[in-house]
Structure 1
Amino acid sequence: MFKRHKSLSSDRKRELFFQRVSRSIMKNDIRNFHSLSQLVLSAGPLKATPAVKHSKTTHFEIEIIDAQTRKQICIVDKVTQTATIHDVKQKFHKICPKWCPSQVGLQLECGGPFLRDHITIQSVAASSIITLYFTDLGQQVSWTTVFLAEYTGPLLIYLLFYLRISYVYDRKESTRSIRHPVVHLACLFHCIHYIRYLLETLFVHKVSSGHTPLKNLIQGCAFYWGFTSWIAYYINHPQYTPPSFGNRQVTVSAINFLVCEAGNHFINVMLAHPNHTGNNACFPRPNYNPFTWLFLLVSCPNYTYEIGSWISFTVMTQTLPVGIFTLLMSIQMSLWAQKKHKIYVKKFNAYMHRKSAIIPFIL
């Protein structure tokens, strides 16, 4: 019995010893956890390590070669992906100041089409090194300047002939002859036609911001100014003979002329609408304006009305120069209309069913 009691007391001591040890360990753990918590709270909220962003911008090196001599002119470096052909021309101008950006024509290959200014470098790049061929386009002028010069000249030239200036017509013969009313009407209609052209160029048409060679301006002015001089000389001549069918012929053709001029204007205003310009343009549809109903039959009614105006002017004045001018203008506008019609067919095939280009059911 004594031995058994002794063993129990020793077990009790061991148990108490282990309890004390465990309590001390727990106290130390609590103290350590409390210290760690205080450290974390004092350090503030944990933040993720910011990721290092690596630039993925690719720079291109553009070699400019003369299209005629095949010799290297310069190298334009550090060109970004978003840069355009216009930006390249600007940098090329800084390296070679003798060539203005409007004079610079760039091609991907010799004899190929010239790259438009809005095209990005990334869209034409096959590698980081790009070769472009340079062509000097010569002296350039803006399209607005071309149109204003072409239309202002005929307006002023016709008025000079209408006034029968002394060094063109004989003064005595001019004072003796009495002008037929169609002469005054022709001057009025001619002025209306070119004044409309000028106003639409300034306020209606979305004229391209691009440029064209100076020779095109000279050719256009020579055509319009030359024909206007020839037409005005015959109509305002003292010996001018009025139309064969008299006032009936003049009246019918004059009404038709005014109708065609009004139709041409309304069509141009309609085509200038934002819905019918740009890459997302839609094909114009007729509206409440009866002049726009011609869109049901032809794709280029502005050219149809233009030809109608000149045919009416030809019948009203009954002169050979006006007839020749009308014929040449009709041929040129027919070519423009057919070209546009093909573009419309590809882009708006659903709206071009049974439409003609310029003359209903014929052309």
Structure 2
Amino acid sequence: MAESTIQVKVTAARKKTSLLRSLALPLTLSFPPSPPPTVRDVKSAIQQAYPSFPATRQKISLPETSKALGDDSAILFGSAGDAELAVGDLGPQVQWRTVFLVEYAGPLIIHPLVYHLPQLFYGADVEHSALQKSVYAMVLLHFAKRELETLFVHRFSHATMPLLNIFKNSAHYHLLSGLLLAYDVYRPAFSAPAVAGTWRANSSLLAAAWAVWVFAQLSNLSTHLTLRALRPAGTTTRAVPTGYGFSAPLRLTFPNYFFEILAWGAVCAMSGSLAAGLFLAVSGGQMLLWAQKKHAAYKREFGDKYPRSRKAIIPGIL
């Protein structure tokens, strides 16, 4: 080994895919000693050696563990100026932005089909009630907002995710907030003649639900813009967010999740739809798990700099 370089030996992880077996591993990589190479540098060097194995598909870990090392992790070298890492194959990848766009496109396609073609789904025409029209508008506006945020607001810390996740993630939106919700709410039982004289036709209730929904959607957008401002384009910078939702009076780590739940809660209260309730329960439960896990991670990462009074997702409670 030349004195001006340090070496990293890369071996194959224990779980080998067909792609991993096709590579000539172990591979020895050489780096200048300064600045110290990171996991990102190792991934880039592996991709350069094996163009069929892109960095986004690689999982780098220590040989004795399966826990992935972060891209910004510095490589620890022994006294001889060398190190050993294991590389695994995450499988085919897809852009996070693409996943989001596909997820949210489902309800935008399904709801108009069910709403405008009732003969196809119910075998009868439906005289849509103000309630049905409100749910229809709320769903389309919500997911159109999601698509626009994906294109112009969100910045992703990871470029890709496993390809198979697009089917799992899309099923949640396409089935629960798409087909099931649309079929339940636009059916004849919620039509104008069917709800006439009932609480579902109460204009004050509809107006109150719209007020809560608009407030929640605008608040959700505000928190997304705050998070965008924390991460300059092309970076993975992380910082403690402050401002509306994050600071007093709510003091939440994930006010965007809270406002999302509030918006769908308005749809549930306005409609009394079991399908809307199911979607809220499933998505709210998932957001709760994400929020608690990420909240704990933030406290570990930022230590005393992270506000102790903040809750994860529900103000003053959780």
Task: Give the TM interval when normalised to the shorter protein.
Answer: 0.7 to 0.9
Q: If you compute each CA radius of gyration, which structure gives the higher value, 1 or 2?
A: 1
Q: CA deviation at 1:145?
A: 1.1
Larger relative contact order (CA 8 Å, sep ≥ 6): 2
Q: How many residues were matched structurally?
A: 299
Aligned equivalents of 1:178, 1:354: Cα separation in 2: 50
SS of 2:68's partner is coil
Aligned equivalents of 1:132, 1:334: Cα separation in 2: 35
Q: Which residue of 2 aligns with 1:64?
A: 11
Q: Note if contact 2:6-2:82 (Cα within 8 Å) is conserved in structure 1.
A: no
> Structure 1 residues 294, 312: closer, same or farther in 2, change over 3 A?
farther
Aligned equivalents of 1:206, 1:305: Cα separation in 2: 20
Aligned equivalents of 2:259, 2:203: Cα separation in 1: 23
> Structure 1 residues 297, 116: closer, same or farther in 2, change over 3 A?
closer
Q: CA deviation at 1:101?
A: 2.8
| Stretches of structure 2 lacking an aligned partner (at least 5 in a row) | none
Q: Which residue of 1 aligns with 2:261?
A: 307
Q: Which residue of 2 aligns with 1:237?
A: 187
Aligned equivalents of 1:296, 1:231: Cα separation in 2: 30
Q: CA deviation at 1:330?
A: 1.3
Q: Which residue of 2 aligns with 1:145?
A: 98
Q: Could you state the TM-score of these two structures normalised by the residue count of structure 1? A: 0.73
Please identify, of 183-192 and 234-243, the stretch whose mean Cα deviation from structure 2 is larger.
234-243
> Structure 1 residues 349, 285: closer, same or farther in 2, change over 3 A?
farther
Q: 1:74 aligns with which of 15, 26, 29?
A: 26
Matched, 1:354 2:309: yes
Q: Which residue of 1 aligns with 2:83?
A: 130
Q: CA RMSD in A?
A: 2.8
1:125-150 C-alpha deviation (Å, 9 max, x unpaired): 23433222222211111111111111
Aligned equivalents of 2:81, 2:274: Cα separation in 1: 62
Matched, 1:266 2:194: no
Q: Note if contact 1:307-1:326 (Cα within 8 Å) is conserved in structure 2.
A: yes
Give the fraction of aligned pairs with identical amino acids, expressed as a percent.
Answer: 26
Q: Quick one: which amino acid aligns to residue 75 of structure 1? A: L
Aligned equivalents of 2:117, 2:189: Cα separation in 1: 12
Aligned equivalents of 1:111, 1:61: Cα separation in 2: 17
Q: Note if contact 2:58-2:90 (Cα within 8 Å) is conserved in structure 1.
A: yes
| Stretches of structure 1 lacking an aligned partner (at least 5 in a row) | 1-54
Q: Note if contact 1:158-1:232 (Cα within 8 Å) is conserved in structure 2.
A: yes
Q: Quick one: which amino acid aligns to residue 6 of structure 2? A: H
Task: Report 1:179-198 matches (<5 A).
Answer: 179-198=128-147
Q: Which residue of 2 aligns with 1:20?
A: none
1:103-157 C-alpha deviation (Å, 9 max, x unpaired): 221211344321233334xx33234332222222111111111111111122111
